[in-house]
């Protein structure tokens, strides 16, 4: 049972899935780990009523609702929902890419109609200098040249959710563009004696994780360097503050902080996954009539994202990239150095440069040999042979990448040659994953530290108490079901057609098995739909195993409060 014992332990009354598909509740826990666990199943698909093969009654349940199984045959519902959430989250990115492609034509038309009136992506230093900080502004101030005390004062204000004035945001963004634009696409980073470098995975606007890492591992300094491996924004509430914090330390000392670009440092993701909404919410400009302010700020963030380097090599031996490797063999570091990066990341292009640019931000490793199409709709899923080829061609010993939420905060694949690193703990407030960061000294021996973030205004580092874990499980289940419901809405005609073709009794109903297979086939999602059936679809009656598919589909509709 490959799970964290602290989170998924075999205890009485725990909800489980037997063989990955039969929902039930643990009723009997043996004294020995090698003995069988007694489970009361929700449906009559067992072989006893709580009496074992020796004739002992170990628990009480209805006939054919009992089953004795080995511990490794149990799946814990929280883990099942977590895996389902990750799969749905990946397909959500694919949907966003499809939406972005559809909107390209509309954006071009709008640009033509507004020609001559479009908002400039450049805000000059003179324009920024002319912005007045109001007398009643109570947030932090940024003074130039930067000093550590000033940076810490800004961070302290972020702990209480104060919003940095838009003048200072523009100053930092302009300074960041100037500092990062001259950098190479592939950064060469060294770690000298007496120094260490810490690699940070996805943060996704979760400022509490960034501050927790600083509390545990120390602030950036010339001897305590950091490499942030992309996906600073989207999904979390504090994307602007995460970017401002990284820029403050980078501008304070360029040798202390290095930044790689992730797939969420792009317009096509920010427009759908939360960061654009965050900027508009925090900097609406409505209070003083500057209605162009949020759009202007958002454009400057995009200008910053476009100059971020794409990858790094540490001590000529460790390759660090946000997504992963490539859809073709024999890609060299020289190829990566030559990429023209200062643009929106290309998608679905056929050219060599565009494709490896896309792969660096979007690809994922898998326990396979070669390659297969990506569930995300961009990049590629690559196996151990791809990793070995890249390492051999480029004399690389280890690959560090991020891009995926993993339960422990890190995952080691491909014979130890590849590490996934994810630093946003309790991701999106729905997952129960740990965060992790990786530290290296001059000898390049990686040390991984796991953590759970504390609240922004706290300094303790305790893990969640059981009531909070239960609350998170409820949120995770609710979010998973919501994402499934969205896909049902998108595919109602196809689902109805499938049901009518399998309505063997011609009475408007299908069996639970047919219903689950319909969702798997039409939605193209390999999820345990029978587990979700009680929450998604009602049975005809309590003694039935059939679902009225018209009533099921009628439950799911897209609502628009602006339309009567």
Beta strands 15-18 and 22-28 are antiparallel
Q: Residue 403: is it exposed, middle or buried by C-beta count within 10 angstroms (0-12/13-18/19+)?
A: buried
SS3 for 60? coil
The number of beta carbons lying within 10 Å of the beta carbon of residue 6 is: 8
128: Cβ contacts below 8 Å, ≥ 6 apart: 167, 170, 171, 174
- The residue whose two tokens read 């996934």 is 420
Selecting among 165, 166, 204, 264, the annotated active-site residue is: 264
The number of beta carbons lying within 10 Å of the beta carbon of residue 393 is: 13
Angle between helices 293-306 and 275-282 (to 10 degrees): 140
d(CA 230, CA 243): 11
The residues pairing with 381 across neighbouring beta strands, listed in sequence order, are: 364, 372
Residue 502 annotated among the catalytic residues of the structure: no
The residues pairing with 196 across neighbouring beta strands, listed in sequence order, are: 224
**CB-side exposure of 419: number of CA atoms within 13 Å?**
23
The number of beta carbons lying within 10 Å of the beta carbon of residue 527 is: 19
**CB-side exposure of 121: number of CA atoms within 13 Å?**
9
- The residue whose two tokens read 């009602």 is 538
**CB-side exposure of 178: number of CA atoms within 13 Å?**
11
- The residue whose two tokens read 């060469």 is 188
d(CA 224, CA 192): 11
The number of beta carbons lying within 10 Å of the beta carbon of residue 185 is: 18
Q: Provide the token pair at 119.
A: 């908002």
In angstroms, the Cα distances linking 444 to 152, 397, 401 are 30, 10, 16
d(CA 90, CA 67): 35
The long-range contacts involving 247-251, CB below 8 angstroms and separated by at least 24 positions, are 247/172, 247/173, 247/175, 247/176, 247/304, 248/142, 248/146, 248/151, 248/154, 248/155, 248/172, 249/151, 249/219, 249/220, 250/176, 250/179, 250/180, 251/146, 251/172, 251/175, 251/176, 251/179
Q: What angle do CA 135, 140, 143 make, to 5 degrees?
A: 95
Q: Provide the token pair at 78.
A: 């929280």
SS3 for 13? coil
Positions annotated as catalytic residues are 264
């Amino acid at each position: 049972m490959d799970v964290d014992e602290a989170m998924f332990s075999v205890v009485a009354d725990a909800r489980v899935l037997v063989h990955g598909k039969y929902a039930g509740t643990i009723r009997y826990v043996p004294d020995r780990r090698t003995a069988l666990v007694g489970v009361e199943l929700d449906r009559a698909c067992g072989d006893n009523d709580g009496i074992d093969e020796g004739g002992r009654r170990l628990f009480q349940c209805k006939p054919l609702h009992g089953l004795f199984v080995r511990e490794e045959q149990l799946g814990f519902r929280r883990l099942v929902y977590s895996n389902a959430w990750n799969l749905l989250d990946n397909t959500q990115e694919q949907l966003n890419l499809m939406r972005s492609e559809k909107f390209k034509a509309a954006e071009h038309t709008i640009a033509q109609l507004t020609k001559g009136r479009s908002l400039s992506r450049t805000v000059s230093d003179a324009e920024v200098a002319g912005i007045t900080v109001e007398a009643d502004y109570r947030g932090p101030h940024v003074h130039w040249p930067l000093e550590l005390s000033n940076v810490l004062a800004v961070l302290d204000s972020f702990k209480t959710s104060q919003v940095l004035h838009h003048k200072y945001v523009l100053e930092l963004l302009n300074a960041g563009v100037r500092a990062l634009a001259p950098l190479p696409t592939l950064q060469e980073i060294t770690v000298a004696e007496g120094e260490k470098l810490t690699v940070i995975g996805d943060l996704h606007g979760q400022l509490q994780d960034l501050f927790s890492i600083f509390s545990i591992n120390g602030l950036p300094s010339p001897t305590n360097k950091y490499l942030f491996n992309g996906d600073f924004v989207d999904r979390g509430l504090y994307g602007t503050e995460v970017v401002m914090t990284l820029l403050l330390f980078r501008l304070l000392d360029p040798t202390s902080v290095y930044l790689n670009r992730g797939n969420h440092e792009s317009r096509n993701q920010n427009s759908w996954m939360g960061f654009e909404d965050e900027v508009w919410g925090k900097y609406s400009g409505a209070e003083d009539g500057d209605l162009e302010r949020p759009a202007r700020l958002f454009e400057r963030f995009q200008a910053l994202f476009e100059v971020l380097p794409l990858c790094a090599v540490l001590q000529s031996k460790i390759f660090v990239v946000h997504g992963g490797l490539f859809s073709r063999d024999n890609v060299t570091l020289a190829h990566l150095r030559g990429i023209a990066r200062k643009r929106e990341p290309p998608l679905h292009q056929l050219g060599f440069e565009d494709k490896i640019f896309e792969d660096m931000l979007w690809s994922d490793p898998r326990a396979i040999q070669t390659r297969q199409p990506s569930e995300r709709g961009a990049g590629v899923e690559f196996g151990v042979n791809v990793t070995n080829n890249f390492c051999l061609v480029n004399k690389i010993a280890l690959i560090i990448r991020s891009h995926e939420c993993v339960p422990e905060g890190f995952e080691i694949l491909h014979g130890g040659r590849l590490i996934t690193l994810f630093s946003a703990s309790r991701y999106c407030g729905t997952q129960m994953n740990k965060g992790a960061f990786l530290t290296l000294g001059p000898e390049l021996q990686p040390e991984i530290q796991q953590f759970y973030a504390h609240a922004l205004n706290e300094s303790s580092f305790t893990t969640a108490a059981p009531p909070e874990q239960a609350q998170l499980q409820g949120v995770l289940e609710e979010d998973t079901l919501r994402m499934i419901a969205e896909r049902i809405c998108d595919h109602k005609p196809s689902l109805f057609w499938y049901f009518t073709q399998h309505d063997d009794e011609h009475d408007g109903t299908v069996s639970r098995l047919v219903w689950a297979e319909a969702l798997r086939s039409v939605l193209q999602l390999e999820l345990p739909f029978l587990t979700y059936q009680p929450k998604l679809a009602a049975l005809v009656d309590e003694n039935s195993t059939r679902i009225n598919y018209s009533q099921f589909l009628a439950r799911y509709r897209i609502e628009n409060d602006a339309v009567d």
